[in-house]
Structure 1
Amino acid sequence: MPKTPHVALLIETSREYARGLLRGVARYQQEHGPWSIYFEPHGLDDPLPEWLVGWKGDGILARVNSRDMAETIVASGIPAVDVRGALPDVGLPFIGVDNEPVSKLAYEHLKSMGLRNFAFCGTPRGENPNQDRRCDYFVSEVEKDGYSCGTWLGEQQRLRAHSWEEQQQQIAVWLRDLPKPVGIMTCHDDRGQQVLDACRRAGVSVPDSAAVISVDNDPHLCNLSTPTMTSIDVNPSRIGYEAAAMLHGLMTGNQPPRRVTFLGPPRGIAPRRSTDALHIEDQDVAEAVRYIRENATSGIRVSDIIARTKTSPSTLERRVKKLLGRTIKSEITRIRLAHARLLLSETEFSVAKIADKAGFSEPKYFCEVFRKHEGVTATEYRRRFRDE
Structure 2
Amino acid sequence: MARLLIITEYEERHIYDVISGIKDYVLEKNVPDPTICTISKGYVASIGMKGLVEWCREWKVDCVLGSFSRNEDTDLLADSGIIAVNWNSMLMDTGLPSIRTDHTTYGRICVKHFSSYRHFAFYSHTNDPRIHSIIQGFQKVLEDKPSATFDHFIFDPEADFRSELMVLKAWLRNIPKPVLILAGSDMFGNNLIEYCKVLNIDVPGKAAILGIGNSRMICDMKLTSLSSIDMNMYKVGWRIAEMMDICLKNRNFKGYDIINRPGRVIERMSTATVPSANQDVVEAARFIHLHFHQKISVDDVVQATSISRRLLEKHFAAECGMGIYQYIMKLRLDEFTEKVMHTKEPIKSIAISLGDDDSKNLSRMFREKYGCSPSSWREANTLDD
Specify the TM-score bucket, using the shorter chain as the normaliser.
0.7 to 0.9
TM-score computed with the length of structure 1 as normaliser: 0.73
Q: For 1:244 and 1:26, how far apart are their aligned partners in 2? A: 8
- 1:351 is aligned to 2:347: yes
Change (3 A) 1:329 1:168: same
Is the CA contact (8 Å cut-off) linking 1:188 and 1:214 kept in structure 2? yes
Letter in 1 for 2:97: P
| 1:144 paired residue number | 144
Q: For 1:223 and 1:300, how far apart are their aligned partners in 2? A: 24
Quote the RMSD (CA, aligned, Å). 4.4
- 1:199 is aligned to 2:202: no
- 1:180 is aligned to 2:187: no
Is the CA contact (8 Å cut-off) linking 2:109 and 2:263 kept in structure 1? no
- Unaligned 5+ segments in structure 2 are 303-307
Change (3 A) 1:347 1:180: closer
| 2:67 paired residue number | 63
Kindly report which structure 2 residues correspond to 1:272-291, keeping only aligned pairs within 5 A, or say none. 272=269, 274-282=270-278, 286=282, 289=285
TM-score computed with the length of structure 2 as normaliser: 0.73
Q: For 1:295 and 1:58, how far apart are their aligned partners in 2? A: 48
- The number of equivalent residue pairs is 365
Q: For 1:357 and 1:101, how far apart are their aligned partners in 2? A: 30
Q: For 1:278 and 1:166, how far apart are their aligned partners in 2? A: 33
- Unaligned 5+ segments in structure 1 are none
Change (3 A) 1:223 1:367: closer
Letter in 2 for 1:85: S
* Offset at residue 137 of structure 1 (A): 2.7
- 1:262 is aligned to 2:260: yes
Could you report, residue by residue, the CA deviation over 1:88-112 in whole angstroms, capped at 9, with x for unpaired residues? 2333322355556654443355454
Letter in 2 for 1:95: I
Change (3 A) 1:177 1:280: closer
Q: For 2:277 and 2:291, how far apart are their aligned partners in 1? A: 21
188-197 or 48-57: bigger deviation: 48-57
Match of 1:336 among 306, 327, 332: 332
* Offset at residue 383 of structure 1 (A): 11
14-23 or 196-205: bigger deviation: 196-205
Could you report, residue by residue, the CA deviation over 1:162-218 in whole angstroms, capped at 9, with x for unpaired residues? 476665455334323323332211121132233334435555443343221101122
| 2:305 paired residue number | none
Kindly report which structure 2 residues correspond to 1:76-87, keeping only aligned pairs within 5 A, or say none. 76-77=77-78, 78-87=82-91
Q: Secondary structure at the match of 1:118?
A: strand
Letter in 2 for 1:279: P
| 2:123 paired residue number | 121
Letter in 2 for 1:67: R
Letter in 2 for 1:39: T
Which gives a bigger RCO, structure 1 or 2 (Cα 8 Å, sep 6+)? 1
* Offset at residue 11 of structure 1 (A): 3.0
Aligned sequence identity (%): 23
Is the CA contact (8 Å cut-off) linking 2:5 and 2:39 kept in structure 1? no
Q: For 1:371 and 1:184, how far apart are their aligned partners in 2? A: 33
Q: For 2:194 and 2:208, how far apart are their aligned partners in 1? A: 13
Is the CA contact (8 Å cut-off) linking 2:210 and 2:226 kept in structure 1? yes
Change (3 A) 1:220 1:304: closer
| 1:153 paired residue number | 154
* Offset at residue 247 of structure 1 (A): 2.1
Could you report, residue by residue, the CA deviation over 1:197-242 in whole angstroms, capped at 9, with x for unpaired residues? 4435555443343221101122332233464322222331221111
- 1:107 is aligned to 2:106: no
Is the CA contact (8 Å cut-off) linking 1:345 and 1:385 kept in structure 2? no
Q: For 2:249 and 2:342, how far apart are their aligned partners in 1? A: 33
